[in-house]
Amino acid sequence: MSIELVKKYELMGYENSIDAFKEWLSELIKRSAESGLPASLRDDAFVLNSFFTNKKSDAVSRSQYYRIRGRLLFLGEQFNVVDIAIPDRDVVLKHSPSDIYFKDIDELLSFIDSAVKRKFVGYNPNTDNVLIKTISMLAWYGLSEGNMVEIQKSDVRNKSITSFDFDFSLLANKEHDVLNRLALSDYYNALPSGKQIMFTGDASYLFRPTRIKLDRIPVSEIAGQIKKFNLLIQNSKQHISVKRLQKNGRFAKVLQDNSGLSDIEKIEKYFKCSRKDNKVAFAIVKDYQNWKENLNK
């Protein structure tokens, strides 16, 4: 990050704290690593996505919009990008990534394939990109990052029930094949470069580290792989996260449940929440109904 750039912005006195600007600028520099920040500021999609760097929320309030707009104008002046196309706030709000956006796991896997094959020549959906597919599938079935790093290859091979109460026998053959290919692989193709990275460490685990000094993969590496995939598709309105996919997977279960229960009763069942205790169940029902309405649009 340019220290001079940060100092100049701080001297302008636009914001009370410079830390938020530094974090935002750092994220933009990462996203523009391939073409450089000045060139990226001429990319309308890049500018639009610069409003969505908050890791906790995709919401853009009016004050946040004008704050980021001011930052972009500042960068435009510094890099002599006079024609920077800053979208109106209504455009930004329409672009805000959806909370839930896949009908089923097949649509999720197809989305991953279509996103990656545009970047890699000779991409084979049957054998490539199994790392991010495995992470996404396991999140869909409700597993956390901490659960994932505990999975052993024998769990996949034997389709056994693991200590965190996940039954691999529930997986469709296509889904199990993805996990099995990761278990048998000695490397993965890094995103977005496509470079082959060798696995190291304890070979008995499904997820293995790539640094020689590590025996086990750190939990943070799961989130790191998702972040790299999201950088690859940063011009898309969609992105993935473990929490979103967990929620999406539960919505799919609710949709497939033909028990005759009401939506609120199904939500209580699959999300393990109660309307007697709080308003969480009703809020989830609203999200679920919005998701269901958008399935065929």
pLDDT for 112-146, tens place per residue?
Answer: 998 888 777 778 887 788 999 999 999 999 899 99
Q: Which of 40, 67, 95 is the last residue of a domain?
A: 95
Does residue 20 sit in the same domain as residue 47? yes
225 and 271 assigned to the same domain: no
pTM of the predicted model over 0.85? no
Q: Fill in the amino acid letter for 276.
A: K
Report the chain's mean pLDDT, rounded to a whole number.
Answer: 85
Clarify whether residues 114 and 62 are in a common domain.
no
112 lies in some domain: yes
pLDDT digits (tens, 9 = 90+) for 182-238: 999 999 888 767 788 999 999 999 999 998 889 999 999 998 899 888 888 766 656
Looking at the fold, whether 80 and 119 belong to one and the same domain comes out as: no
> Is residue 100 situated within a structural domain?
no
- Examine residue 237 and state whether it is found in any structural domain, yes or no: no
Note whether residue 35 is domain-resident.
yes
User: Could you report the per-residue pLDDT of 225-272, keeping only the tens digit for each?
Assistant: 998 888 887 666 567 889 889 989 999 999 999 999 999 899 989 988
**CA–CA distances in Å: residue 179 to residues 53, 60, 142, 240:** 31, 37, 16, 19
Q: Rounded to whole angstroms, how far apart are CA atoms 138 and 168?
A: 10
Domain count of the chain?
Answer: 3
Domain boundary among 182, 199, 232: 232
The answer to whether residues 167 and 253 belong to one domain is no
Q: Which of 132, 162, 96, 164 is nearest to 232 (CA)?
A: 132
Listed in sequence order, the residues at least 6 apart from 22 whose beta carbon sits closer than 8 Å to its beta carbon are 1, 6
For 123, residues 6+ apart whose C-beta sits below 8 A from its C-beta are 113, 116, 117, 129
150 and 264 inside one domain? no
Indicate whether 119 and 225 sit together in one domain: yes
Query: Does one domain contain both 227 and 246?
Result: no
Residue 109's nearest CA partner among 91, 95, 129 is 129
- Is residue 26 situated within a structural domain? yes
- Pair 24, 110 in one domain: no
Same domain? For 227 and 253 the reply is no
The range of the structural domain enclosing residue 277 comes to 242-294
Residue 212 sits in the same domain as residue 114: yes
Query: Within this chain, do residues 42 and 116 fall inside the same structural domain, yes or no?
Result: no
Please count the CA atoms within 13 angstroms of the CA of 21 that sit on its side-chain side: 23
Task: Give the residue from 210, 232, 254 where a domain finishes.
Answer: 232
